[in-house]
């Protein structure tokens, strides 16, 4: 089994690979209504309000991502990546916990805690953590890696790694998806740990939109509170 890729090894590999120039940051948002609806269906929690809390700009580093995303609760990370042959994919991941600059690994020991997932929107696929019923129960436990010189990074493969300069991604399936495909990239299916250019990177906070009946109950409750306050006011007069 492939061991966890150390940060130093990744840094050395990235130093030997030169990323092409970053794309212009004035491109349209990666999130459109169709993708929004698909993310809602994949998460399965109901209607969502997604707020853009981070968009990569020229000259940004991982610390800029962390300054915007740390402590903001669950998030979707979206990124447009491309290879040297001109292929382009829209991929990302759902993190059910807040990003952090100091926590290291966020661990989910039990299946009910493993709600994170990775997705490929271009070649539709969703990869969820390996369950505890697998021969190695801990394989799906390391959901995200949280450190100041890492962008949004998922899984111990790393299943989706973003470097410090936020311009390069690497996908090597291990924590997420079918263990039979361990070592493959969920982006393009390659098995050689291919580096890809990140052309755009955005992070969205996630909030549930209350159902109509919930709004009705809330409004009704506020009405009762207001009525009680007015009655107390008249009684004092």
- As given in the structure block, the two tokens for residue 126 are 């969703």
pLDDT in tens, the chain (237 residues): 343 444 445 655 554 454 554 444 457 899 999 999 999 999 999 999 999 999 999 999 999 999 999 999 999 999 999 999 999 999 999 999 999 999 999 999 999 999 999 999 999 999 999 999 999 999 999 999 999 999 999 999 999 999 999 999 999 999 999 999 999 999 999 998 899 999 999 999 999 998 665 434 444 444 544 545 555 555 555
User: How far is residue 58 from each of residues 23, 49, 82, measured CA to CA in Å?
Assistant: 9, 27, 17
Residue 224 pLDDT: 44
**How far, in Å, CA of 110 to CA of 106, rounded?**
13
Residue 191 pLDDT: 94
Domain boundaries defined on the chain: 7-211
**How far, in Å, CA of 132 to CA of 109, rounded?**
8
Coil, strand or helix at 227:
helix
Give DSSP secondary structure letters for 5-28: PPHHHHHHHHHTSPPPPPPPTTSP
Residue 28 pLDDT: 86
Give DSSP secondary structure letters for 96-163: SS-B-SS-EEEE--SGGG---EEEETTTTEEE-BPPTTSSSGGGG-EEEEE-TT--SEETTTTSBEE-
**How far, in Å, CA of 77 to CA of 75, rounded?**
6
- As given in the structure block, the two tokens for residue 91 are 């991929």
For residue 90, which phi and psi values (nearest 5 degrees)?
-105, 115
Which pairing describes strands 75-82 and 153-154: parallel, antiparallel, or unpaired? Answer: unpaired
The number of C-alpha atoms within 13 Å of 130 and in the hemisphere containing its C-beta is 23
């Amino acid at each position: 089994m492939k061991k966890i890729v150390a940060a130093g090894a990744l840094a050395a590999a990235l130093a030997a690979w030169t990323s092409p120039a970053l794309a212009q940051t004035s491109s349209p948002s990666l999130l459109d209504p169709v993708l929004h609806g698909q993310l809602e269906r994949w998460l399965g929690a109901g209607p969502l309000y997604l707020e853009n809390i981070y968009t990569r700009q020229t000259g940004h580093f991982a610390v800029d991502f962390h300054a915007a995303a740390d402590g903001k609760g669950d998030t979707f990370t979206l990124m447009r990546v491309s290879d040297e042959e001109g292929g382009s994919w829209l991929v990302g991941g759902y993190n059910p916990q807040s990003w952090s600059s100091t926590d290291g690994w966020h661990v989910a020991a039990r299946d009910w805690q493993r709600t994170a997932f990775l997705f490929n929107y271009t070649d539709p696929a969703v990869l969820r953590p390996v369950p505890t019923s697998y021969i190695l129960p801990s394989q799906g436990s390391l959901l995200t890696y949280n450190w100041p010189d890492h962008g949004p990074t998922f899984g111990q493969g790393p299943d989706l790694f973003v470097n410090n300069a936020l311009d390069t991604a690497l996908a090597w399936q291990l924590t997420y998806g079918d263990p039979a495909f361990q070592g493959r990239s969920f982006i393009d299916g390659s098995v050689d740990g291919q580096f890809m250019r990140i052309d755009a990177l955005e992070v969205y906070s996630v909030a549930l939109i209350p159902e109509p009946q919930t709004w009705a109950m809330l409004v009704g409750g506020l009405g009762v509170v207001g009525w009680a306050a007015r009655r107390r006011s008249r009684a004092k007069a």
